[in-house]
Copies of this chain bind each other. A is one copy, B any other.
Amino acid sequence: MATINDNFLRIKESYLFSDIAKRVSAYTAAHPDKKVIRMGIGDVTLPLAPSVVEAMRTAAAEMGRQETFHGYGPEQGYPFLRDAVAQYYKGRSGVDLDTDEIFINDGAKSDVGNITDLFGPNNTVLVTDPVYPVYVDTNVMSGRNIVYLPSTRENDFTPLPDPSVRADMIYLCSPNNPTGSVYNRRQLAQWVDYARRNGSILLFDSAYEAYVSDPALPHSIYQIEGARECAIEFCSFSKMAGFTGTRCGYTVVPKGVTALDAAGRPVPLNKLWLRRQCTKFNGVPYVVQRAAEAVFTPQGQREVREMIGYYMGNAALMAETLRGKGIEFAGGVSSPYIWMRCPGGMDSWKFFDLLLEQANVVGTPGAGFGRCGEGYFRLTAFGSRENTREAMDRLNRLL
């Protein structure tokens, strides 16, 4: 008799986005004349950059000619793209990576989950709360114990390691989804120090690094001394270049990162990850890798910097509105997310309903991201300028 992985029954059913969708469609059905502005889901709205489209179209044409056709590629990605990623790291933050420490993925979400394959079930996982649900669900799925570190206004939404809490696998996301907060170097150094002292692995999600504009803030965990011995980093073209529907990113597993086998011997995770990828993955489409490569050309960089600038213009507008209303918030600088306190101590679903019904604006209730998210609300900067401005006008009138 085949039996299921019972851990699946322990995953909390999250109805966050489907609940939001239901409430929104009920509202629009009852009020078909109202223009609802969505600032909820973290999806981008600007089209792909011209250089990216051009590279993809050229690659598609190559696939149609015998002499330039590409069959199976390397599971870990084509060298042309891995080299481009290595150069990007070098140029942006002075981080030296070997090409074989870089693995091209089909988006950070996949690998943030897939990486759990490498670890035994008895590792304790630490996440900050509020949390991107994928960190939690993929580990519940594989039967691990999870501890939550509160990320609150008291710690500026940048919680630091608690030496009394033992954790073997630690997810950090900076700039953070959903709070928009960004760790500085000194704070990350404390995490690296904790990880090295405890033999923990940092799983560092830098999906939003391209939004960091303050030159003092790190883009990569590898800007911190010692991180090459304890950290795996995940990044994505999704938010950097609008690839949410194009699916590409990269995972960095430095050769110095090890975890222990049952006999207590350190095993390099780079080798295990390569094995995992060669067994369960066949690489990212050639045309998508060529499109991603175009992001790193000088012209591609100019184009995506412009997109990011546009979204950050939205964030500035939102921040200005909230400041004008005296509403506390995090993020909005070096991050496309704004994490606002619900006015008047409202709970986050109540504020959701108020905003939907009175201002026809959709956001994400903080409670959907964990216990510490209650009383907060996430707004994203990924809409159009026009919609963002109108939403802020409505907010201004409402509050």
A73 to B43, CA, bound (A): 10
Flag whether A137 is at the interface (Cβ < 8 A). yes
- What B residues does A50 contact at CB under 8 A? 64
In the complex, the answer to whether B57 meets A60 with C-beta atoms within 8 Å is yes
Residue of B nearest to A284 (CB): B247
In the complex, the answer to whether B285 meets A4 with C-beta atoms within 8 Å is no
In the complex, the answer to whether B56 meets A71 with C-beta atoms within 8 Å is no
Known contacts: A43-B72, A57-B57. The answer to whether A137 contacts B279 by CB under 8 A is yes
| Cβ of A192 to closest chain B Cβ, rounded Å | 14
In the complex, the answer to whether A60 meets B53 with C-beta atoms within 8 Å is yes
Flag whether A122 is at the interface (Cβ < 8 A). yes
A64 to B45, CA, bound (A): 11
- Return the contact of A56 from the options B63, B68, B169, B244 (Cβ within 8 A): B63
- What B residues does A120 contact at CB under 8 A? 3-6
- What B residues does A52 contact at CB under 8 A? 64
**Which residues of A257-298 are within 8 A (CB) of B?**
259-262, 267, 269, 272, 275-276, 279-288, 291
Flag whether A343 is at the interface (Cβ < 8 A). no
Flag whether A70 is at the interface (Cβ < 8 A). yes
- Selecting from A104-112, A220-228, A330-338, A362-370, the interface stretch reads A104-112
In the complex, the answer to whether A63 meets B72 with C-beta atoms within 8 Å is no
A5 to B142, CA, bound (A): 11
Flag whether A159 is at the interface (Cβ < 8 A). no
One complex includes copies of this chain to the number of 2
In the complex, the answer to whether B63 meets A282 with C-beta atoms within 8 Å is no
Select the residue from A1, A122, A245 with max chain B CB neighbours within 10 A.
A245
In the complex, the answer to whether B48 meets A57 with C-beta atoms within 8 Å is no
Flag whether A113 is at the interface (Cβ < 8 A). yes
- Selecting from A29-37, A173-181, A194-202, A208-216, the interface stretch reads A194-202
In the complex, the answer to whether A71 meets B57 with C-beta atoms within 8 Å is no
- Return the contact of A8 from the options B3, B71, B137, B272 (Cβ within 8 A): B272
In the complex, the answer to whether B44 meets A63 with C-beta atoms within 8 Å is no
In the complex, the answer to whether B113 meets A280 with C-beta atoms within 8 Å is yes
Select the residue from A8, A119, A120, A122 with max chain B CB neighbours within 10 A.
A8
- Return the contact of A287 from the options B1, B199, B287 (Cβ within 8 A): B287
As a 0/1 sequence over residues 287 to 316 of chain A, the CB contacts with chain B under 8 angstroms (1 = contact) are: 110010000000000000000000000000
Flag whether A145 is at the interface (Cβ < 8 A). no
As a 0/1 sequence over residues 97 to 117 of chain A, the CB contacts with chain B under 8 angstroms (1 = contact) are: 000000000110110011001
As a 0/1 sequence over residues 38 to 78 of chain A, the CB contacts with chain B under 8 angstroms (1 = contact) are: 00010111111110110011001101111011111100000
Known contacts: A282-B109, A287-B56. The answer to whether A259 contacts B4 by CB under 8 A is yes
- What B residues does A106 contact at CB under 8 A? 106, 282
- What B residues does A45 contact at CB under 8 A? 66, 69, 71
**Interface CB pairs A-B, < 8 A, 19:** A2-B168, A3-B119, A4-B119, A4-B272, A5-B118, A9-B267, A11-B275, A46-B69, A49-B64, A56-B60, A56-B287, A60-B60, A60-B287, A117-B141, A134-B279, A134-B280, A245-B283, A285-B288, A288-B288
Beyond known contacts A6-B120, A8-B267, A45-B71: 13 more, CB 8 A cutoff: A3-B120, A3-B122, A4-B260, A4-B269, A9-B261, A47-B66, A60-B60, A72-B245, A134-B279, A134-B280, A245-B283, A285-B288, A287-B288
